[in-house]
Structure 1
């Protein structure tokens, strides 16, 4: 059994990685052995290709502003592992993580020993830890669960939520989810439960058709963007994005988001539609004041986040084609005409060629780099895929970032993007030390 946080994390990280053994049978077996603690949790389930984390963030802040205790389960983490399981924005304490691990560890051995299902994956174990924590150690009024990958076979898909949300459907994780929008939508729509409402901002006709069919099959009420609810952008200023939201029983004018980008209006609107449903059907009333406060306070690490002001350094977690398109639109929206120096790294199993082509159009120059992660693309590979007239490569991202910051002139900016795992490392370095002191 575990006595220290290092022992606990070493055990977790030593398990089979997420996605290797899809399916929920191991989860169901282990949860049954514990008495199905997940059934005690009042949850919202959020899936989709992009915008999951931001939507979780809006819901959490809205309900926290109303005085509720709100749990969140997210992946991947940006700063520390404990962020994956939080209550009102505070990561799980080490001693509680150890306590949960000591309850889950025997089950991981038993499911392998007593069934033919095999050992659970790392992500399954982390999901189990969250169920134990929120049901047995720190119960909450509401828990927002973010899908890890896909939905249908994801280890979070053992909950029966009050409402489910599918933010959108785009091409990502094709190896695991399929090579067409229809196939990917089928996996995402797997989180729709019997007689449980589904909110979606998916706009692709094929995705909408799949989600409609699944909602009909499950007798689930469907709230579709531009049908059941809508938003209107009022533009942006120094305070952030301004918009109006309209639904059947919720009409709000001049809402303000600090998280930048027009795509955030869509994420916030998905959250607001879920809020209306929860108030109307699940006994979770909310005030307009709590909605406004929650939207305004919502902030998510690595989402067009300003890390430095002099010079301006922004990091963004765009890691697929659709996310990169949204990033380019946000750059144009806020910083058109600004000289932007880009530091770029990506995973080799992503559509990095298309992403590079998109982001190159918005920047003055590109430095391709790499980082310490098994799936990280080399700086040579990314450099070969780039076509910018001003490009270079530096395999040492910390050296490259220090150099860029030192040479960036007043009025210019540095942008770091390409991978959530990459910006996590960069964010940690920028937060923990001055730019010229980051090298060990």
Structure 2
């Protein structure tokens, strides 16, 4: 038995050594041993390449404004491990996390002795979350964010009230496939028989796969630009603004505080999700709930300004589509400023396409690395870049402090981007020592 939070988290993280193991057999074993908690919670399932976390946040806040108690399961965490399992945005208490680990550990050790082998860190955390929401802290509904792919993701043991699929792009290609169609096939794996699904995927090869899967499962499909639509009406210092229309009605002059035109896609998908819950499952959600929920939503680590002098922004752009969104947001909200970029990433990312995009936008670019099993060396990133004003530095803290000292008092902006695991460490460091 574990007695402290630190011991519990250490045990969970020790399971990182088992890596990623696609397949649902271990999760199904867990569910049987735990009296099927996945059948005793109402859920929404969110998959996609980018925007999952933001979509979860928008929908959670809308439901919360309507008076519902909302659980969320997300990854990775930015500030503290507990936030992966939250209720109304509040992370699970340390004592409850210890209780969860003490419940799941004996089952984990028993599972390791079976033909299925040891469960991964993510499988253990997913099982913990289902037990928590079903038996320890029941809620009205839980929004589950897919960890990787969808079809074989450990969260795919749930049968949700609605499925939401954000945009589909190139990510985790070493696991999910080399083409958009192959990646979409894995993401579309969350579509369940008769469960309505909404998507903001726009690439024809991705949409075709989603449409075929929805038809096969008899699931009503709502496609952005066809079955529901949103019109971007501009961005300013307060955020972004848009109108929304679906088969259930229209909303004018909606606003979000999160920066970036791409966030309108995520917010619109959340609105469509709320409409499905309202009209298909009788969730009482008013227009004021929707408007206030959207505007009050915040998602740390996504074009988040930490300092104003110097201007320091962190953004977890960890694949080509994320980089595209970051660049578009910089062009809107950092117009006219010189931009310095500090970048670090994991080795399984599409760096050959990501780094040239940053090269084109940055006035100066610095590559670094950080302490994480899959983090790529700074020199390897440097060698991919063709920027004429590039540098690399192994110590990311030194890189950040040095750059901040150089641009303090100027009109330049520092944008720190790449892996969300990197952004998590950076954000904590800056807020602790500079804010």
Q: What's the TM-score, normalizing by structure 2? A: 0.98
The answer to whether residue 329 in structure 2 is matched with residue 306 in structure 1 is: no
Report if aligned partners of 2:162, 2:197 keep a CA contact under 8 Å in 1: yes
Partner Cα distance (1:397, 1:136) in 2: 42
Q: Which residues of 2 match residues 110-129 of structure 1 at below 5 A?
A: 110-113=110-113, 115-129=114-128
Runs of 4+, deviation exceeding 4 Å: 16-19
Partner Cα distance (1:217, 1:74) in 2: 28
| SS of residue matched to 1:49 | coil
Q: Which residues of 2 match residues 400-419 of structure 1 at below 5 A?
A: 400-408=399-407, 409-419=409-419
Distance change >3 Å, CA 204–CA 17, structure 1 → 2 = farther
The answer to whether residue 359 in structure 2 is matched with residue 341 in structure 1 is: no
Partner Cα distance (2:332, 2:121) in 1: 39
Q: Which residues of 2 match residues 5-404 of structure 1 at below 5 A?
A: 5-17=5-17, 20-113=20-113, 115-404=114-403
Partner Cα distance (2:419, 2:380) in 1: 15
Report if aligned partners of 1:185, 1:211 keep a CA contact under 8 Å in 2: yes
Distance change >3 Å, CA 317–CA 18, structure 1 → 2 = farther
Task: Summarize deviations over 1:396-436 as a string: whole Å, max 9, x none.
Answer: 1101100111111432211000111111110010122227x
| SS of residue matched to 2:77 | coil
Report if aligned partners of 1:345, 1:369 keep a CA contact under 8 Å in 2: yes
| SS of residue matched to 1:350 | coil
- Shift, 1:17, TM fit: 4.8
| SS of residue matched to 1:157 | helix
Q: Which residue of 2 aligns with 1:438?
A: none
Task: Summarize deviations over 1:120-175 as a string: whole Å, max 9, x none.
Answer: 11100000110111111111111110000000000000001000001011111011
Instruction: Count the aligned residue pairs.
Output: 434
Report if aligned partners of 1:338, 1:411 keep a CA contact under 8 Å in 2: yes
Report if aligned partners of 2:313, 2:414 keep a CA contact under 8 Å in 1: yes
Partner Cα distance (1:31, 1:176) in 2: 25
| SS of residue matched to 2:115 | coil
Partner Cα distance (1:283, 1:17) in 2: 44
Unaligned runs of 5+ in 2: none
| SS of residue matched to 1:337 | coil
Report if aligned partners of 1:48, 1:168 keep a CA contact under 8 Å in 2: yes
Task: Summarize deviations over 1:40-80 as a string: whole Å, max 9, x none.
Answer: 11110000000100000100111111111111100111111
- Shift, 1:81, TM fit: 0.6
- Shift, 1:353, TM fit: 2.5
Partner Cα distance (2:422, 2:324) in 1: 19
Partner Cα distance (1:190, 1:45) in 2: 11
Q: Quote the RMSD (CA, aligned, Å).
A: 1.1
Report if aligned partners of 1:164, 1:196 keep a CA contact under 8 Å in 2: yes
- Shift, 1:20, TM fit: 2.7
Q: What's the TM-score, normalizing by structure 1? A: 0.97
- Shift, 1:19, TM fit: 5.2
Partner Cα distance (1:112, 1:343) in 2: 41
Unaligned runs of 5+ in 1: 436-440
Report if aligned partners of 1:19, 1:149 keep a CA contact under 8 Å in 2: no
- Shift, 1:18, TM fit: 6.9
Partner Cα distance (1:238, 1:333) in 2: 10
Partner Cα distance (2:6, 2:97) in 1: 11
| SS of residue matched to 1:15 | helix
Report if aligned partners of 2:191, 2:213 keep a CA contact under 8 Å in 1: yes
Q: Which moved more, 1:63-72 or 1:312-321?
A: 63-72
Partner Cα distance (2:417, 2:299) in 1: 15
Report if aligned partners of 1:369, 1:393 keep a CA contact under 8 Å in 2: yes
Partner Cα distance (2:168, 2:390) in 1: 32
Q: Which residue of 1 aligns with 2:432?
A: 432
Partner Cα distance (1:19, 1:253) in 2: 46
Report if aligned partners of 1:231, 1:243 keep a CA contact under 8 Å in 2: yes
Partner Cα distance (1:64, 1:410) in 2: 41
